[in-house]
């Protein structure tokens, strides 16, 4: 039997598809309230796009890409994340030259060749937003509030971690300090960190190795090495979050797994879903448009992991909906189909193609969670009527087919 690939799941059971579609409904509703528009970009992009944005030293690009040469000899990748494609589209459409503000939301499949485990898939879904053209840290705060609104409406509890990664004024000097600190401990750190020292030293802070972590506890902290501008922005960010009742904690080791960030970085985590606890992550990426040959444009965004959230959503109580229409004699099925088609102009309607007795039709309607079970027996056919039973309040009415 052919099965889906490891780490790639179907969304098929009622439990799954109701949660998935409910999430998209709520997230898009809230993104629209904040002025975001839908964008769709291809799943397949040139490999160079991800190398130049997410970064060659990141695990995502270094180890986890679904990369291959296509039939036209192009080096391509299944997207591991959504930001790079949106930035590419933004530049390709010359929106960087147009100026102004551009805000997009998207959702879809992302691919990372990771070791599958609970909460970690090889094909997973993200909902993301990207805001271009707004340099103010108020926008970063607003994005965090938008994510928080989405979680609130879905009944999802979270912890918010924030950090500042500095900018080109303060990051290089800090990097040097960190490199000299880590180099002085080179004998004791893990091989991954030794490699990071030459590719992307900041990422050592994120190392999961306990011995490394003990050493880095004494490392110089970025938060103490920010330039005045970054410090001011980081304070402003905190002030707004406090003023809007968004709880947060500063995590000085939060560096994010993608290279394009500067200044604000944040992550939402849940303690209810096991070790893969990050439910959303994002930050500012003011230099990415320029790195991809666009006109320098400030930008900030985040993405949420839909599969991880699906476990946490508190679903609203399911309501009965729509019409279940059936007959008691086979020769009247076609009339039932006609009435069902009429109802479908405005409502959910289902037609039973099999004649059944009243009790069995009620059972089927109940199973489908219909609000009304509508039945025609020989008496109703004769009188041109239909029995409509409301399955919520159990009332029953006989009405003429014309009025139905
Ligand atoms: P990210 O932190 O790599 O950021 O991914 C965002 C979210 O996707 C994570 O918090 C997690 O919930 C989910 N996720 C990541 N990998 C997996 C996986 N293997 N299985 C299941 N869920 C996963 C980004 O992708 C950035 N593009 C976010 C961003 C947008 N930054 C600025 N704009």
Nearest-angstrom CA–CA distance, 314 and 277: 18
Residue 349, pLDDT > 90, answer yes
Measured from the Cα of 267, ligand 1's closest atom is 10
- Ligand 1 neighbours, Cβ below 6 Å, are 81-83, 112, 114, 120-121, 124, 126, 128, 130, 257-258, 278-283, 301-303, 305, 307-308
Tell which atom from ligand 1 comes closest to the C-alpha of 126: 8
Ligand 1: residue of 105, 115, 256, 278 to mutate (most ligand atoms within 8 A of CB) is 278
H helix or E strand, kind and range, residue 45: strand 44-46
Q: What is the pLDDT of residues 186-209, one digit of tens each?
A: 999 999 999 889 888 998 998 989
Distances (CA, A) of 143 to 129, 139, 344: 8, 6, 39
Ligand 1 atom closest to residue 54's alpha carbon, by position in its atom list: 27
Structure tokens at 206: 């994120």
CB-based contact 377:330 (threshold 8 Å): no
Q: Is the pLDDT of residue 37 over 90?
A: yes
Q: How far is ligand 1, taken at its centre, from the CA of residue 82, in Å?
A: 9
Which atom from ligand 1 is nearest to the alpha carbon of 285?
Answer: 32
- Pairing type for strands 159-164 and 102-111 reads unpaired
CA of residue 303 to ligand 1 center, whole Å = 6
Measured in Å, residue 298 CA sits from the centre of ligand 1 at 21
Distance (Å) from CA 302 to ligand 1 centroid: 8
Residue 57 has pLDDT above 90, yes or no: no
Per-residue pLDDT band at 60 (split at 50, 70, 90) = very high
CATH architecture of the domain formed by 321-400 = 3-Layer(aba) Sandwich (3.40)
Q: Identify the pLDDT of residue 206.
A: 87
Query: What is the 3 state secondary structure string of 162-174?
Result: EEECCCCCCHHHH
pLDDT in tens, 231-272: 999 999 999 999 999 999 999 999 998 999 999 999 999 999
Spacing, Cα 283 to ligand 1 middle (Å): 12
Which pTM value belongs to this model? 0.94
In angstroms, rounded to a whole number, what is the distance separating the alpha carbons of residues 106 and 265?
20
What confidence score (pLDDT) does residue 61 get? 93
Look at ligand 1, atom 21, and give the residue with the nearest C-alpha: 120
- Contact between 346 and 395 under an 8 Å Cβ cutoff? The reply is no
**What span, in angstroms and rounded, lies between the C-alpha atoms of 247 and 227?**
25
CA of 100 to the centre of ligand 1 (A): 27
Q: Where are the domains of the chain?
A: 14-166+248-311, 170-226, 321-400
Strands (E), 140-212: 159-164
- Residue from 150, 282, 303, 306 whose mutation best tests the ligand 1 pocket (most atoms within 8 A of CB): 303
Q: Which residue has the tokens 């506890």?
A: 217
Report the top-level CATH class of 14-166+248-311: alpha beta
Are the C-beta atoms of 374 and 325 separated by less than 8 Å? yes
- Can you name the residues that pair with 250 across neighbouring β-strands? 162
């Amino acid at each position: 039997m052919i099965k889906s690939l490891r780490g790639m799941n179907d969304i098929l059971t009622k439990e799954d598809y109701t949660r998935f579609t409910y999430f998209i409904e709520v997230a898009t509703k809230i993104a629209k309230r904040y002025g975001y528009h839908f964008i769709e970009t291809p799943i397949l992009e040139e490999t160079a796009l991800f190398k130049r944005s997410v970064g060659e030293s990141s695990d995502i690009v270094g180890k986890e890409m679904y990369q291959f040469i296509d039939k036209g000899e192009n080096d391509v990748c299944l997207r591991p994340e959504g930001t790079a494609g949106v930035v590419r589209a933004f530049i390709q459409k010359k929106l960087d030259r147009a100026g102004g503000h551009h805000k997009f939301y998207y959702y879809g499949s992302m691919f990372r060749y990771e070791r599958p485990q609970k909460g970690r898939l090889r094909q997973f879904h993200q909902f993301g937003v990207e805001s271009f053209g707004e340099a103010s840290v108020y926008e970063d705060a607003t994005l965090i509030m938008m994510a928080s609104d989405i979680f609130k409406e879905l009944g999802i509890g979270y912890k918010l971690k924030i950090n500042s990664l500095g900018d080109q004024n303060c990051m290089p000097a800090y990097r040097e300090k960190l490199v000299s600190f880590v180099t002085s401990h080179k004998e004791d750190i893990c091989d991954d960190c030794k490699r990071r020292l030459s590719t992307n030293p900041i990422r050592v802070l994120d190392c999961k190795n306990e011995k490394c972590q003990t050493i880095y506890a004494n490392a110089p902290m970025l938060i103490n090495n920010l330039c005045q501008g970054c410090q001011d922005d980081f304070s402003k960010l905190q002030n707004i979050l406090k003023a809007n009742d968004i709880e947060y904690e500063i995590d000085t080791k939060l560096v994010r797994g993608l290279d394009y960030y500067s200044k604000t970085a944040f992550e939402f985590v849940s303690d209810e879903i096991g070790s893969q606890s990050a439910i959303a992550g994002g930050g500012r990426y003011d230099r990415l448009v320029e790195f991809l040959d666009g006109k320098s444009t400030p930008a900030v965004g985040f993405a949420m992991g839909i599969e991880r959230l699906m476990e946490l959503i508190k679903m609203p109580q399911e309501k009965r909906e729509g019409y279940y229409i059936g007959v008691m004699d086979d020769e009247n099925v076609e009339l039932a189909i006609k009435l069902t088609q009429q109802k479908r102009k405005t409502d959910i309607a289902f037609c039973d193609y099999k004649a059944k007795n009243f009790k069995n039709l009620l059972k089927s309607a109940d199973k489908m969670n219909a609000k009304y079970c509508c039945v025609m027996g020989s008496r109703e056919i004769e009188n041109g009527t239909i029995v409509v039973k409301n399955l919520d309040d159990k009332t029953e009415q006989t009405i003429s087919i014309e009025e139905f």
